[in-house]
Amino acid sequence: MDPRIKNPPAATRTVLVHESPNQLGMRIAAELRRFSGSHRLEVLTTSRMEAALHVIRSRSIAMAVIDVGRESGEAASLLRSLGRTFPSLPLFVFNGFMMPGIAEKAKEYDHVRYCEDSGELNRFISLILESLAPKKRGMIEGILLTNFLHWLNSEKLSGWVMVSSGGRRGSLSMKDGRLVAADLGNASSSTALAEMSAWEKVTVEIHEGASENGAAGEATLAASGIAASPRVEDSPIPASVRPGGNIEELRLTRMGTTVVVRIDKLKMAAEVIRDMLPDSLQCMDVFLSSDGRSLAGWNSHPLACSAFAVISSSLQQALTMSGFPRLGKYYLLDLMNGQVVMIVLCGELQMGMLVGGKKEHLGLLTNVVLAKALKFLSESCRIEHPS
Amino acid sequence: MGKTLARIYQIVEEKGGLPGRMKLAQKTGISLQQAAAMRDRAELVKRFKKAAGEILETDINHLLR
Protein backbone atom coordinates (compact mmCIF):
# COMPACT_ATOMS: atom_id res chain seq x y z
CA MET A 1 0.00 0.00 0.00
CA ASP A 2 1.22 3.45 -0.86
CA PRO A 3 2.53 4.95 2.42
CA ARG A 4 1.30 8.37 1.36
CA ILE A 5 -2.29 7.15 1.47
CA LYS A 6 -3.67 7.67 4.94
CA ASN A 7 -6.72 5.72 5.94
CA PRO A 8 -9.58 7.82 7.27
CA PRO A 9 -11.09 7.19 10.73
CA ALA A 10 -12.81 3.81 10.94
CA ALA A 11 -16.40 5.06 10.74
CA THR A 12 -15.75 7.17 7.64
CA ARG A 13 -16.65 5.53 4.36
CA THR A 14 -14.66 6.22 1.24
CA VAL A 15 -16.28 6.85 -2.12
CA LEU A 16 -14.11 6.82 -5.20
CA VAL A 17 -15.34 9.01 -8.05
CA HIS A 18 -13.91 8.69 -11.53
CA GLU A 19 -14.81 11.71 -13.59
CA SER A 20 -13.09 13.77 -16.15
CA PRO A 21 -12.30 17.42 -15.41
CA ASN A 22 -13.05 18.02 -19.10
CA GLN A 23 -16.71 17.14 -18.63
CA LEU A 24 -19.08 19.41 -16.80
CA GLY A 25 -16.48 19.89 -14.08
CA MET A 26 -16.28 17.20 -11.40
CA ARG A 27 -19.91 17.72 -10.46
CA ILE A 28 -20.53 14.40 -8.77
CA ALA A 29 -17.58 14.63 -6.39
CA ALA A 30 -18.43 18.26 -5.64
CA GLU A 31 -22.04 17.34 -4.84
CA LEU A 32 -21.03 14.38 -2.66
CA ARG A 33 -18.50 16.46 -0.74
CA ARG A 34 -21.33 18.69 0.40
CA PHE A 35 -22.50 15.74 2.47
CA SER A 36 -19.12 14.53 3.65
CA GLY A 37 -19.71 15.88 7.16
CA SER A 38 -23.22 14.63 7.74
CA HIS A 39 -22.70 11.24 6.07
CA ARG A 40 -19.14 10.69 7.25
CA LEU A 41 -17.84 10.35 3.73
CA GLU A 42 -14.43 10.73 2.27
CA VAL A 43 -14.68 11.48 -1.43
CA LEU A 44 -11.69 10.70 -3.60
CA THR A 45 -11.60 11.72 -7.22
CA THR A 46 -9.51 10.61 -10.12
CA SER A 47 -9.58 10.87 -13.87
CA ARG A 48 -7.12 8.00 -14.38
CA MET A 49 -8.16 4.37 -14.57
CA GLU A 50 -4.86 3.03 -13.24
CA ALA A 51 -5.06 5.29 -10.19
CA ALA A 52 -8.66 4.20 -9.54
CA LEU A 53 -7.73 0.51 -9.70
CA HIS A 54 -4.75 1.10 -7.44
CA VAL A 55 -6.94 2.70 -4.77
CA ILE A 56 -9.61 0.01 -5.02
CA ARG A 57 -6.98 -2.70 -4.54
CA SER A 58 -5.16 -0.98 -1.70
CA ARG A 59 -7.97 0.51 0.40
CA SER A 60 -11.39 -0.22 1.74
CA ILE A 61 -13.81 1.52 -0.61
CA ALA A 62 -17.55 1.72 0.12
CA MET A 63 -18.44 2.31 -3.52
CA ALA A 64 -17.12 3.52 -6.83
CA VAL A 65 -18.83 6.10 -9.00
CA ILE A 66 -18.07 6.58 -12.67
CA ASP A 67 -19.19 9.53 -14.75
CA VAL A 68 -18.92 8.27 -18.30
CA GLY A 69 -18.46 10.93 -20.95
CA ARG A 70 -17.55 8.85 -24.00
CA GLU A 71 -18.23 5.32 -25.23
CA SER A 72 -14.52 4.68 -25.58
CA GLY A 73 -12.18 6.11 -23.04
CA GLU A 74 -10.82 5.48 -19.57
CA ALA A 75 -14.20 5.76 -17.83
CA ALA A 76 -15.78 3.18 -20.14
CA SER A 77 -12.76 0.88 -19.68
CA LEU A 78 -12.97 1.29 -15.92
CA LEU A 79 -16.66 0.34 -16.03
CA ARG A 80 -15.81 -2.86 -17.90
CA SER A 81 -12.90 -3.64 -15.60
CA LEU A 82 -14.82 -3.08 -12.36
CA GLY A 83 -17.87 -4.84 -13.77
CA ARG A 84 -15.86 -7.98 -14.42
CA THR A 85 -13.31 -8.07 -11.61
CA PHE A 86 -15.02 -6.45 -8.59
CA PRO A 87 -18.55 -7.89 -8.51
CA SER A 88 -18.95 -7.15 -4.80
CA LEU A 89 -18.05 -3.46 -5.03
CA PRO A 90 -21.16 -1.27 -5.38
CA LEU A 91 -20.73 0.64 -8.61
CA PHE A 92 -22.74 3.70 -9.65
CA VAL A 93 -22.59 4.75 -13.29
CA PHE A 94 -23.75 8.12 -14.58
CA ASN A 95 -24.30 8.34 -18.32
CA GLY A 96 -25.20 12.02 -18.69
CA PHE A 97 -25.02 11.91 -22.51
CA MET A 98 -27.27 8.83 -22.71
CA MET A 99 -24.90 6.82 -24.88
CA PRO A 100 -26.56 3.50 -25.75
CA GLY A 101 -23.29 1.50 -25.62
CA ILE A 102 -22.68 2.59 -22.03
CA ALA A 103 -26.28 1.86 -21.03
CA GLU A 104 -26.01 -1.64 -22.46
CA LYS A 105 -22.66 -2.31 -20.78
CA ALA A 106 -23.77 -0.98 -17.39
CA LYS A 107 -26.86 -3.18 -17.38
CA GLU A 108 -24.76 -6.31 -17.95
CA TYR A 109 -23.56 -6.22 -14.33
CA ASP A 110 -25.86 -6.90 -11.41
CA HIS A 111 -24.01 -4.70 -8.94
CA VAL A 112 -24.19 -1.59 -11.12
CA ARG A 113 -26.72 1.14 -10.34
CA TYR A 114 -27.22 3.12 -13.49
CA CYS A 115 -28.55 6.60 -14.21
CA GLU A 116 -28.62 8.56 -17.44
CA ASP A 117 -29.62 12.03 -18.63
CA SER A 118 -27.68 15.00 -17.30
CA GLY A 119 -30.91 16.43 -15.88
CA GLU A 120 -31.05 13.50 -13.47
CA LEU A 121 -27.89 14.37 -11.55
CA ASN A 122 -29.83 15.24 -8.39
CA ARG A 123 -31.60 11.88 -8.45
CA PHE A 124 -28.27 10.13 -8.99
CA ILE A 125 -26.72 11.89 -5.97
CA SER A 126 -29.77 10.94 -3.88
CA LEU A 127 -29.40 7.29 -4.96
CA ILE A 128 -25.75 7.29 -3.85
CA LEU A 129 -26.52 8.92 -0.51
CA GLU A 130 -29.45 6.59 0.11
CA SER A 131 -27.38 3.51 -0.53
CA LEU A 132 -24.70 4.76 1.85
CA ALA A 133 -27.19 5.68 4.49
CA PRO A 134 -28.48 3.32 7.10
CA LYS A 135 -32.10 2.21 6.89
CA LYS A 136 -34.51 4.94 5.96
CA ARG A 137 -37.25 5.35 8.54
CA GLY A 138 -39.61 7.50 6.61
CA MET A 139 -40.33 10.64 4.73
CA ILE A 140 -42.54 13.59 5.58
CA GLU A 141 -43.54 16.10 2.95
CA GLY A 142 -44.67 19.70 3.10
CA ILE A 143 -43.83 20.63 6.67
CA LEU A 144 -42.11 23.49 8.44
CA LEU A 145 -38.59 22.65 9.54
CA THR A 146 -38.98 24.36 12.90
CA ASN A 147 -42.02 22.19 13.72
CA PHE A 148 -40.15 19.09 12.61
CA LEU A 149 -37.10 19.91 14.75
CA HIS A 150 -39.35 20.50 17.73
CA TRP A 151 -40.88 17.08 17.22
CA LEU A 152 -37.50 15.33 16.77
CA ASN A 153 -36.40 16.95 19.98
CA SER A 154 -39.42 15.72 21.91
CA GLU A 155 -39.11 12.21 20.46
CA LYS A 156 -35.37 12.02 21.20
CA LEU A 157 -34.69 10.58 17.75
CA SER A 158 -31.19 9.90 16.47
CA GLY A 159 -29.94 9.70 12.92
CA TRP A 160 -29.56 12.02 10.04
CA VAL A 161 -32.20 13.88 8.16
CA MET A 162 -32.07 14.95 4.56
CA VAL A 163 -33.98 18.18 4.03
CA SER A 164 -35.04 19.29 0.58
CA SER A 165 -37.23 22.00 -0.84
CA GLY A 166 -37.55 23.09 -4.45
CA GLY A 167 -34.27 21.60 -5.65
CA ARG A 168 -32.30 22.78 -2.60
CA ARG A 169 -30.90 20.13 -0.31
CA GLY A 170 -29.24 20.02 3.07
CA SER A 171 -28.82 17.64 5.94
CA LEU A 172 -29.11 17.59 9.70
CA SER A 173 -27.45 15.28 12.17
CA MET A 174 -29.42 14.43 15.26
CA LYS A 175 -28.45 12.60 18.40
CA ASP A 176 -31.09 11.79 21.04
CA GLY A 177 -33.22 14.59 19.64
CA ARG A 178 -30.38 17.09 19.81
CA LEU A 179 -29.19 18.83 16.70
CA VAL A 180 -25.52 17.98 16.31
CA ALA A 181 -24.84 19.67 12.98
CA ALA A 182 -26.50 21.21 9.97
CA ASP A 183 -24.92 20.97 6.58
CA LEU A 184 -25.67 22.96 3.47
CA GLY A 185 -22.65 22.73 1.25
CA ASN A 186 -20.28 25.55 2.05
CA ALA A 187 -22.40 27.23 4.70
CA SER A 188 -21.46 26.90 8.37
CA SER A 189 -23.77 25.03 10.72
CA SER A 190 -25.52 28.14 12.02
CA THR A 191 -25.99 29.68 8.58
CA ALA A 192 -27.16 26.38 7.14
CA LEU A 193 -29.80 25.93 9.82
CA ALA A 194 -31.03 29.51 9.49
CA GLU A 195 -31.23 29.14 5.71
CA MET A 196 -33.05 25.81 5.88
CA SER A 197 -35.48 27.18 8.47
CA ALA A 198 -36.59 29.79 5.95
CA TRP A 199 -37.47 27.16 3.35
CA GLU A 200 -41.14 26.63 2.87
CA LYS A 201 -42.81 23.22 2.73
CA VAL A 202 -39.73 21.07 3.12
CA THR A 203 -39.52 17.34 2.55
CA VAL A 204 -37.56 15.47 5.19
CA GLU A 205 -36.17 11.94 4.97
CA ILE A 206 -35.27 10.40 8.29
CA HIS A 207 -32.48 7.85 8.38
CA GLU A 208 -31.39 5.86 11.38
CA GLY A 209 -27.82 5.43 12.40
CA ALA A 210 -24.60 7.28 13.12
CA SER A 211 -25.01 10.98 13.11
CA GLU A 212 -21.94 12.38 14.73
CA ASN A 213 -20.18 14.84 12.57
CA GLY A 214 -16.69 13.48 12.81
CA ALA A 215 -13.81 15.02 10.97
CA ALA A 216 -12.99 13.00 7.91
CA GLY A 217 -9.39 12.11 7.35
CA GLU A 218 -7.35 13.94 4.84
CA ALA A 219 -5.95 11.82 2.08
CA THR A 220 -2.73 12.80 0.46
CA LEU A 221 -3.06 11.15 -2.89
CA ALA A 222 -1.85 13.70 -5.35
CA ALA A 223 0.99 11.51 -6.54
CA SER A 224 -1.35 8.71 -7.58
CA GLY A 225 -3.57 11.11 -9.51
CA ILE A 226 -6.23 11.18 -6.79
CA ALA A 227 -7.36 14.58 -5.61
CA ALA A 228 -7.33 14.82 -1.81
CA SER A 229 -10.75 15.31 -0.28
CA PRO A 230 -11.16 18.65 1.45
CA ARG A 231 -10.77 18.53 5.19
CA VAL A 232 -14.11 18.58 6.96
CA GLU A 233 -14.16 21.06 9.78
CA ASP A 234 -15.87 20.10 12.99
CA SER A 235 -19.20 21.82 12.68
CA PRO A 236 -19.48 24.05 15.72
CA ILE A 237 -22.85 24.24 17.36
CA PRO A 238 -23.77 27.86 16.80
CA ALA A 239 -24.47 30.20 19.69
CA SER A 240 -28.07 30.50 18.60
CA VAL A 241 -28.66 26.76 18.90
CA ARG A 242 -28.84 25.25 22.34
CA PRO A 243 -27.27 21.88 23.04
CA GLY A 244 -30.86 20.67 23.29
CA GLY A 245 -31.18 21.21 19.58
CA ASN A 246 -33.79 23.94 19.63
CA ILE A 247 -33.29 27.20 17.85
CA GLU A 248 -32.95 29.73 20.64
CA GLU A 249 -32.97 33.00 18.76
CA LEU A 250 -34.15 34.17 15.40
CA ARG A 251 -32.65 37.34 13.94
CA LEU A 252 -34.48 39.19 11.22
CA THR A 253 -32.98 42.23 9.54
CA ARG A 254 -35.35 44.70 8.01
CA MET A 255 -34.44 48.16 6.70
CA GLY A 256 -31.29 48.36 8.77
CA THR A 257 -32.79 47.27 12.10
CA THR A 258 -32.47 43.79 13.48
CA VAL A 259 -35.34 42.10 15.27
CA VAL A 260 -34.25 39.40 17.69
CA VAL A 261 -36.92 36.88 18.66
CA ARG A 262 -36.34 34.55 21.61
CA ILE A 263 -37.87 31.28 20.44
CA ASP A 264 -37.24 29.58 23.78
CA LYS A 265 -39.41 32.19 25.54
CA LEU A 266 -42.16 31.73 22.99
CA LYS A 267 -42.14 27.99 23.59
CA MET A 268 -42.44 28.66 27.29
CA ALA A 269 -45.36 30.99 26.56
CA ALA A 270 -47.07 28.26 24.55
CA GLU A 271 -46.76 25.86 27.47
CA VAL A 272 -48.03 28.36 30.05
CA ILE A 273 -51.03 29.31 27.95
CA ARG A 274 -51.81 25.70 27.18
CA ASP A 275 -51.90 25.02 30.92
CA MET A 276 -54.20 28.01 31.48
CA LEU A 277 -56.76 26.67 29.01
CA PRO A 278 -56.36 22.91 29.44
CA ASP A 279 -59.78 21.84 28.18
CA SER A 280 -60.64 24.56 25.73
CA LEU A 281 -57.48 25.48 23.82
CA GLN A 282 -57.53 23.67 20.49
CA CYS A 283 -54.48 25.14 18.86
CA MET A 284 -52.17 28.09 19.22
CA ASP A 285 -49.28 29.58 17.34
CA VAL A 286 -46.91 32.48 17.65
CA PHE A 287 -46.09 33.75 14.19
CA LEU A 288 -44.30 36.57 12.44
CA SER A 289 -46.48 39.52 11.42
CA SER A 290 -44.37 40.02 8.30
CA ASP A 291 -44.75 36.62 6.65
CA GLY A 292 -46.91 34.45 8.89
CA ARG A 293 -44.11 32.00 9.68
CA SER A 294 -44.93 29.97 12.79
CA LEU A 295 -42.20 30.16 15.42
CA ALA A 296 -43.72 28.21 18.29
CA GLY A 297 -47.04 26.70 19.15
CA TRP A 298 -49.16 23.85 20.26
CA ASN A 299 -51.13 21.75 17.77
CA SER A 300 -49.56 24.12 15.30
CA HIS A 301 -51.41 25.20 12.17
CA PRO A 302 -48.98 26.88 9.72
CA LEU A 303 -51.66 27.58 7.13
CA ALA A 304 -53.80 29.43 9.67
CA CYS A 305 -50.72 31.46 10.68
CA SER A 306 -50.19 32.64 7.11
CA ALA A 307 -53.89 33.41 6.70
CA PHE A 308 -54.15 35.40 9.94
CA ALA A 309 -50.97 37.36 9.18
CA VAL A 310 -52.67 38.49 5.96
CA ILE A 311 -55.99 39.16 7.75
CA SER A 312 -54.29 41.29 10.42
CA SER A 313 -52.51 43.30 7.77
CA SER A 314 -55.69 43.77 5.71
CA LEU A 315 -57.63 44.74 8.83
CA GLN A 316 -55.03 47.34 9.71
CA GLN A 317 -55.17 48.69 6.18
CA ALA A 318 -58.97 48.82 6.18
CA LEU A 319 -59.02 50.72 9.50
CA THR A 320 -56.45 53.22 8.24
CA MET A 321 -58.36 53.77 4.99
CA SER A 322 -61.59 54.28 6.91
CA GLY A 323 -59.99 56.87 9.11
CA PHE A 324 -60.56 54.71 12.19
CA PRO A 325 -58.00 54.28 14.96
CA ARG A 326 -55.38 51.62 14.40
CA LEU A 327 -55.76 48.06 15.72
CA GLY A 328 -55.05 47.70 19.41
CA LYS A 329 -53.69 44.70 21.20
CA TYR A 330 -56.04 42.00 19.95
CA TYR A 331 -59.08 41.06 17.94
CA LEU A 332 -61.61 38.28 18.41
CA LEU A 333 -63.56 36.23 15.90
CA ASP A 334 -66.72 34.47 16.94
CA LEU A 335 -66.97 31.17 15.10
CA MET A 336 -69.71 28.57 14.77
CA ASN A 337 -70.04 25.88 17.46
CA GLY A 338 -69.09 28.34 20.17
CA GLN A 339 -65.48 28.52 19.10
CA VAL A 340 -63.45 31.71 19.27
CA VAL A 341 -60.24 32.84 17.59
CA MET A 342 -58.17 35.43 19.40
CA ILE A 343 -55.27 37.13 17.68
CA VAL A 344 -52.92 39.02 19.98
CA LEU A 345 -50.81 41.66 18.28
CA CYS A 346 -47.38 42.72 19.47
CA GLY A 347 -45.28 44.40 16.80
CA GLU A 348 -43.34 41.80 14.83
CA LEU A 349 -45.15 38.95 16.55
CA GLN A 350 -48.73 37.77 16.73
CA MET A 351 -50.27 35.00 18.77
CA GLY A 352 -53.29 33.15 17.49
CA MET A 353 -55.46 30.89 19.63
CA LEU A 354 -58.45 28.77 18.72
CA VAL A 355 -60.54 28.26 21.82
CA GLY A 356 -63.52 25.98 21.85
CA GLY A 357 -66.20 24.91 24.23
CA LYS A 358 -68.09 27.29 26.42
CA LYS A 359 -68.39 31.04 26.28
CA GLU A 360 -67.21 31.41 29.88
CA HIS A 361 -63.71 31.01 28.53
CA LEU A 362 -64.02 34.48 27.03
CA GLY A 363 -63.52 36.09 30.43
CA LEU A 364 -60.43 34.03 31.08
CA LEU A 365 -59.15 34.84 27.60
CA THR A 366 -59.53 38.61 27.76
CA ASN A 367 -58.69 39.13 31.43
CA VAL A 368 -55.93 36.65 32.10
CA VAL A 369 -54.58 34.95 28.99
CA LEU A 370 -54.35 38.17 26.98
CA ALA A 371 -52.22 39.91 29.59
CA LYS A 372 -49.96 36.89 29.89
CA ALA A 373 -49.64 36.56 26.11
CA LEU A 374 -48.75 40.25 25.68
CA LYS A 375 -46.16 40.01 28.41
CA PHE A 376 -44.53 36.97 26.81
CA LEU A 377 -44.61 38.45 23.32
CA SER A 378 -43.04 41.74 24.37
CA GLU A 379 -40.37 39.94 26.38
CA SER A 380 -39.56 37.61 23.49
CA CYS A 381 -38.85 40.30 20.95
CA ARG A 382 -36.28 43.09 20.96
CA ILE A 383 -35.12 45.47 18.28
CA GLU A 384 -31.45 46.20 17.76
CA HIS A 385 -30.70 49.46 16.01
CA PRO A 386 -27.44 49.82 14.09
CA SER A 387 -24.86 51.66 16.18
CA MET B 1 -47.86 3.24 32.25
CA GLY B 2 -49.46 4.82 29.22
CA LYS B 3 -50.13 1.45 27.56
CA THR B 4 -53.20 2.65 25.66
CA LEU B 5 -51.55 5.90 24.65
CA ALA B 6 -48.48 4.03 23.41
CA ARG B 7 -50.74 1.58 21.57
CA ILE B 8 -52.52 4.46 19.85
CA TYR B 9 -49.12 5.80 18.79
CA GLN B 10 -48.24 2.35 17.46
CA ILE B 11 -51.47 2.12 15.44
CA VAL B 12 -50.98 5.59 14.00
CA GLU B 13 -47.39 4.85 13.02
CA GLU B 14 -48.34 1.49 11.47
CA LYS B 15 -51.09 3.00 9.40
CA GLY B 16 -49.89 6.53 8.84
CA GLY B 17 -46.12 6.17 9.01
CA LEU B 18 -43.87 8.79 10.51
CA PRO B 19 -45.98 11.65 9.16
CA GLY B 20 -48.90 10.21 11.14
CA ARG B 21 -46.81 9.92 14.27
CA MET B 22 -45.65 13.49 13.91
CA LYS B 23 -49.21 14.71 13.39
CA LEU B 24 -50.35 12.86 16.51
CA ALA B 25 -47.61 14.55 18.54
CA GLN B 26 -48.62 17.93 17.14
CA LYS B 27 -52.32 17.39 17.72
CA THR B 28 -51.97 16.10 21.25
CA GLY B 29 -48.89 18.03 22.29
CA ILE B 30 -47.53 14.80 23.76
CA SER B 31 -44.67 12.84 22.21
CA LEU B 32 -44.44 9.04 22.20
CA GLN B 33 -41.73 9.22 24.86
CA GLN B 34 -43.96 11.31 27.11
CA ALA B 35 -47.06 9.23 26.35
CA ALA B 36 -45.31 6.01 27.33
CA ALA B 37 -44.41 7.51 30.70
CA MET B 38 -47.90 8.89 31.43
CA ARG B 39 -50.89 7.35 33.10
CA ASP B 40 -53.75 6.33 30.78
CA ARG B 41 -56.11 9.02 32.05
CA ALA B 42 -59.58 8.79 30.49
CA GLU B 43 -59.57 12.33 29.07
CA LEU B 44 -56.11 11.82 27.58
CA VAL B 45 -57.09 8.55 25.95
CA LYS B 46 -60.19 10.25 24.58
CA ARG B 47 -58.08 13.09 23.14
CA PHE B 48 -55.62 10.63 21.61
CA LYS B 49 -58.40 8.53 20.06
CA LYS B 50 -60.00 11.63 18.59
CA ALA B 51 -56.70 12.88 17.17
CA ALA B 52 -55.77 9.43 15.79
CA GLY B 53 -59.22 9.14 14.21
CA GLU B 54 -58.75 12.50 12.50
CA ILE B 55 -55.31 11.55 11.22
CA LEU B 56 -56.25 8.10 9.95
CA GLU B 57 -59.77 9.15 9.00
CA THR B 58 -61.16 6.08 10.71
CA ASP B 59 -62.39 5.04 14.13
CA ILE B 60 -59.55 3.24 15.89
CA ASN B 61 -61.62 1.78 18.75
CA HIS B 62 -61.83 -1.65 17.15
CA LEU B 63 -58.05 -1.74 16.76
CA LEU B 64 -57.57 -1.13 20.46
CA ARG B 65 -59.54 -4.17 21.57
pLDDT tens track for B6-52? 899 989 988 888 888 888 888 887 888 888 888 888 888 998 999 99
Cβ–Cβ under 8 Å, residues A68 and A102: yes
> Same structural domain for residues A360 and A259?
yes
Cβ–Cβ under 8 Å, residues A34 and A164: no
Task: Give the Cα separation of A201 and A205 in Å (integer).
Answer: 13
Q: Which one of A137, A141, A298 has the shortest CB-CB distance to B29?
A: A298
Q: What pLDDT, on a 0 to 100 scale, did the predictor assign at position A120?
A: 74
> Same structural domain for residues A33 and A98?
yes
Torsions phi, psi of A368, nearest 5? -115, -55
Task: Give the Cα separation of A177 and A183 in Å (integer).
Answer: 17
| Segment A180-185 long-range contacts (CB within 8 Å, at least 24 positions apart) | A180/A211, A180/A212, A180/A213, A180/A235, A180/A237, A181/A37, A181/A38, A181/A213, A181/A235, A181/A237, A182/A235, A183/A34, A183/A35, A183/A37, A183/A38, A183/A213, A183/A235, A184/A34, A185/A34
Of A230, A219, A226, A224, which is closest to residue A46 (Cα–Cα)?
A226
Q: Answer whether residue A234 is part of any domain.
A: no
Say whether pTM exceeds 0.80: no
Within 10 Å of residue A220's Cβ, how many Cβ atoms?
A: 14
Percent over 90 (pLDDT), chain B: 15
Q: Do A140 and B19 touch (CB under 8 A)?
A: yes
> Same structural domain for residues A349 and A266?
yes
Crossing angle for the helix pair A49-58 and A74-85, to the nearest 10 degrees = 30
Question: Which residues, 6 or more positions from B57, have their beta carbon under 8 angstroms from its beta carbon?
Answer: none
Complex ipTM over 0.85:
no
> Same structural domain for residues A348 and A359?
yes
> In chain A, which ranges are continuous DSSP H helix?
27-33, 49-58, 74-85, 100-106, 121-132, 145-155, 189-197, 263-276, 302-321, 361-364, 370-380
> Same structural domain for residues A197 and A294?
no
Q: What pLDDT, on a 0 to 100 scale, did the predictor assign at position A39?
A: 74
Q: Answer whether residue A243 is part of any domain.
A: no
DSSP B23: H
* A157: closest chain B residue by CA: B33
Q: Which residues of chain A have pLDDT under 50?
A: 1-10, 25, 210-246
Range of the domain at A272: 249-384
Range of the domain at B13: 3-64
Q: Answer whether residue A5 is part of any domain.
A: no
> Same structural domain for residues A285 and A162?
no
Task: Give the Cα separation of A335 and A109 in Å (integer).
Answer: 64
Cβ–Cβ under 8 Å, residues A235 and A197: no
Torsions phi, psi of A339, nearest 5? -90, 155
Q: Which of chain B's residues have a Cβ under 8 Å away from the Cβ of A137?
A: 18
List C-alpha distances in Å: A114 to A62, A79, A91, B10: 17, 11, 8, 37
Q: What pLDDT, on a 0 to 100 scale, did the predictor assign at position A359?
A: 65
Q: Do A154 and B18 touch (CB under 8 A)?
A: no
Q: Answer whether residue A7 is part of any domain.
A: no
> Same structural domain for residues A101 and A73?
yes
Q: Which one of B17, B27, B33 has the shortest CB-CB distance to A154?
A: B33
Chain A residues 91-150 with a CB less than 8 Å from chain B = 137-141, 143, 147-148
CATH of the domain at A272: 3.30.450.30
Q: Answer whether residue A107 is part of any domain.
A: yes
> Same structural domain for residues A101 and A158?
no
CATH of the domain at A43: 3.40.50.2300
Q: Answer whether residue A197 is part of any domain.
A: yes
Task: Give the Cα separation of A348 and A259 in Å (integer).
Answer: 8
Q: Answer whether residue A240 is part of any domain.
A: no
> What one-character-per-residue DSSP string does A314-345 give?
HHHHHHHHTTPPPP-SEEEEE-GGG-EEEEEE
How far from chain centre, in Å, is Cα B58?
13
Chain A residues 6-65 with a CB less than 8 Å from chain B = none
Q: Which one of A137, A206, A300 has the shortest CB-CB distance to B26?
A: A300
Q: Does A202 touch chain B (CB under 8 A)?
A: no
> Same structural domain for residues A68 and A150?
no
Task: Give the Cα separation of A374 and B20 in Å (integer).
Answer: 33
> Same structural domain for residues A332 and A202?
no
Within 10 Å of residue A21's Cβ, how many Cβ atoms?
A: 10
Last residue of a domain, one of A227, A258, A282: A227
Q: Which one of A139, A147, A274 has the shortest CB-CB distance to B26?
A: A147
Domains in chain B: how many in total?
1
Q: What pLDDT, on a 0 to 100 scale, did the predictor assign at position B8?
A: 92
Domains in chain A: how many in total?
3
Q: Which of chain A's residues have a Cβ under 8 Å away from the Cβ of B19?
A: 138-141
Of A164, A82, A87, A93, which is closest to residue A127 (Cα–Cα)?
A93
Task: Give the Cα separation of A298 and A352 in Å (integer).
Answer: 11
> Same structural domain for residues A34 and A80?
yes
> Same structural domain for residues A120 and A142?
no
Candidates B13, B18, B23, B38: best to mutate against A (most CBs of A within 10 A) is B18
Q: Answer whether residue A259 is part of any domain.
A: yes
Q: Do A143 and B22 touch (CB under 8 A)?
A: yes
How far from chain centre, in Å, is Cα A320?
41
Q: Do B18 and A138 touch (CB under 8 A)?
A: yes
Q: How far is B18 from chain A (nearest CA, A)?
A: 6
List C-alpha distances in Å: A5 to A39, A44, A217, A250: 21, 11, 10, 44
* A141: closest chain B residue by CA: B19
